[in-house]
Chain A
Amino acid sequence: MSAPVAIYEPFRAGLPPLGAYLRSLWTRRSFIAEFSRSELREQNYGSVFGQLWLVLNPLLLSGVYFLLIYIIGGQSDSTRYGHLTASLFLFYLISNSLTGGVKSITAGQRLILNTAFPRAMLPISALVIALFKFVPTLAVFFVMRTILGLDYSWQMFWAIPVILIALLMGLGMAILISCINVYFRDIASFLPYMTRSLLYLSPILYQASDLSDKLKSFEIANPIFYLLDAWSQVMVYAQAPDMFSLLHSFIWAIAIFIIGTYFFLSRERDFAVRL
């Protein structure tokens, strides 16, 4: 008799065998691609501009916020506008992973109750969708900063590690919040307020250097404050980011990722009976 294809046994609290889990995640990578594609297609389905909204949306947003800071602060130089746009685009990568991730498990109820698969696939798809939305805005920003006449330099390659940290952070947040939402469904309703607070607590409408030292010391607790600061240094000022910002955001990102993944993986076998 052939060896069993699959064995299901009780699990103890803690992680599933990680090697097997990752392998089975990897064999389902086409699900993640297909899911993100059809989700994006469906979100912009039927609108006149279709996929163009992926670019239009962030552009309009940055215009609106620029109007806001212009009226309040009266400053309107091009660096300011570049900073606002660049920061807003990266912020939306994080915020889209959160809003996409929060309901990824609860909305996948039918699939979860009917099929055995690594549940982490669903929040990962949320990050991939956020990334697909982010990439066109990056192209838009490069056109914009050329028009604004901002300098270019080799230091801008620091954008790569900053984006990688942002992706790790977005993934960790999506995984963590999707898991929390299974147990407390109203997290999804709180989320808009949380992302809004995060928007104002982060150096987007203002610059990190505008804050007093006292306020800045509180911002240590904001996971994305120094991430956005580093991003602005690289993308707007074409400088290398200071190491503190890079390290701060990396430590936050890895911490959220590890905590989120641990919670998720140790509880995902419970999801089917909780939905």
Chain B
Amino acid sequence: MISLSASNSLNSSHAVHGLAVSVQNVGLTYTTSIDKRPTLKARLKSLGRGKKHTRVVNALSQVNLDVHYGTVLGVIGSNGAGKSSLMRVISGIVPPTEGRVEVHGSVSTLLALGVGFNPSMTGRANVYLGGLAAGMSRAEIDKQFDAIADFSELGEAIDAPMRTYSSGMYARLAFSVAATVQPDILIVDEALSTGDAHFKEKSLNRIKELRTADRALILVSHAMATIEDVCNEVAWLHKGKLMARGNPAEVIKQYREFTNAGKSAAANEDV
């Protein structure tokens, strides 16, 4: 979990249809605090009352998943199914409790939050900090920066503090970073649905451009139409278990039957 591989494998080449990510018997159980903001005061106040402060979450169990280069894998499932947890395990942010994950390439992650870890700094500073934290060198970011700024269409706002950004601007910058750095493996977690119609379409097109034989994409989304449109494989997670995996149309059909959601407009609506 220590090294994010962005820096050390930009030049590596891999066999077409070679293994990109191998998830082997992965289980994830973690303890988290019940309070949003755990405090010592709350702890002391409830001393001896037997109140619980933490709960154990069984996020994933016995998940096996191989992703090959050239694959665009859609991950679907209801809320709390473990989709985001699986993405965090694959990108090395949270180590698994069981099993093993092998990653053969550089990973760029666009998980729910994206860039912008310090809102009082400018968009530019945040892009640099995010890249440096991911293990890229300053020269690499310099090389990509203009393309990122262009794609985000933020214009001069790139040099304004990020606290002045709207949520759409946040999302645009985040997507631009993740999609511009040309990773071997791109993980996008429900980040396509923010932004206006124009940017949504632009990012979807960008995803389609990124579908090459030497790259693997993993998309997490609730928008079945997008998944069916973009992906060539779909994995369905339910309560931490892998329920089905394979042809997008088939898996989505199974998932719909399971949830009784039907092919309603609401499920298709958003990207």
What is the interface of chain A, defined by CB distance below 8 A to chain B? 1-2, 4-11, 16-17, 20-21, 23-24, 27-28, 30-31, 34-35, 38-39, 42, 107-118, 121, 183-187, 190, 269-270, 272-274
Contact = CB atoms under 8 A, between A and B. Distances in A.
Nearest to A186: B39
Nearest to B9: A5
A117 B136 CA distance: 11
Which residue among B5, B118, B120 has the maximum number of chain A CB atoms within 10 Å of its CB? B118
B103 A272 contact: no
A114 B132 CA distance: 13
Interface stretch (B13-21, B74-82, B246-254): B13-21
B41 A121 contact: no
A113 B95 contact: no
Contacts of A9: 95-96, 99-101
Interface residues of B, number: 67
A113 B93 contact: yes
Contacts, number: 170
Contacts of B105: 5
Interface stretch (B108-116, B204-212, B262-270): B108-116
- Main DSSP-derived SS at the B contact region: loop
Given A35-B129, A109-B117, A110-B115, A1 B18 contact: yes
Contact of A269 (B7, B12, B38, B95): B95
B104 A24 contact: no
A190 B95 CA distance: 32
B101 A16 contact: no
Contacts of A273: 30-32, 57, 94
Nearest to A33: B132
A20 B2 contact: yes
Residue of A17, A110, A190, A269 ringed by the most chain B CB atoms within 10 A? A110
Nearest to A116: B92
A116 B1 contact: yes
Contacts of B168: none
A114 B113 contact: yes
Contacts of B118: 38-39, 42, 107
A269 B134 contact: no
B38 A6 contact: no
B125 interface: yes
Given A42-B120, A115-B93, A31 B133 contact: yes
The 6 closest A-B pairs by CB, nearest first: A116-B92, A111-B117, A31-B132, A4-B102, A186-B39, A110-B117
B3 A20 contact: yes
B147 interface: no
B132 A38 contact: no
B137 interface: yes
Contacts of B271: none
Nearest to A21: B2
Given A27-B135, A110-B115, 14 more contacts: A2-B14, A5-B5, A7-B101, A31-B132, A35-B132, A38-B121, A110-B117, A111-B130, A116-B4, A116-B92, A116-B93, A185-B39, A269-B1, A274-B33
Given A112-B93, A270-B30, A273-B32, A2 B12 contact: yes
Nearest to B174: A114
Contacts of A42: 118, 120-121
B164 interface: no
Contacts of B130: 111, 114-115
Given A10-B98, A38-B125, A184-B38, A117 B134 contact: yes
A184 B43 contact: yes
A252 B95 CA distance: 33
B103 A6 contact: yes
A31 B30 CA distance: 29
A108 B126 CA distance: 12
Residue from the set A8, A34, A273 with the largest chain B CB neighbour count within 10 Å: A8
A102 to B, nearest CB: 13
16 contacts: A1-B18, A2-B104, A5-B104, A8-B1, A8-B100, A9-B95, A31-B129, A35-B132, A107-B117, A110-B117, A114-B114, A114-B115, A115-B4, A116-B92, A185-B38, A273-B94
Nearest to A17: B2
B93 A114 contact: yes
Contact of A30 (B32, B116, B137): B137
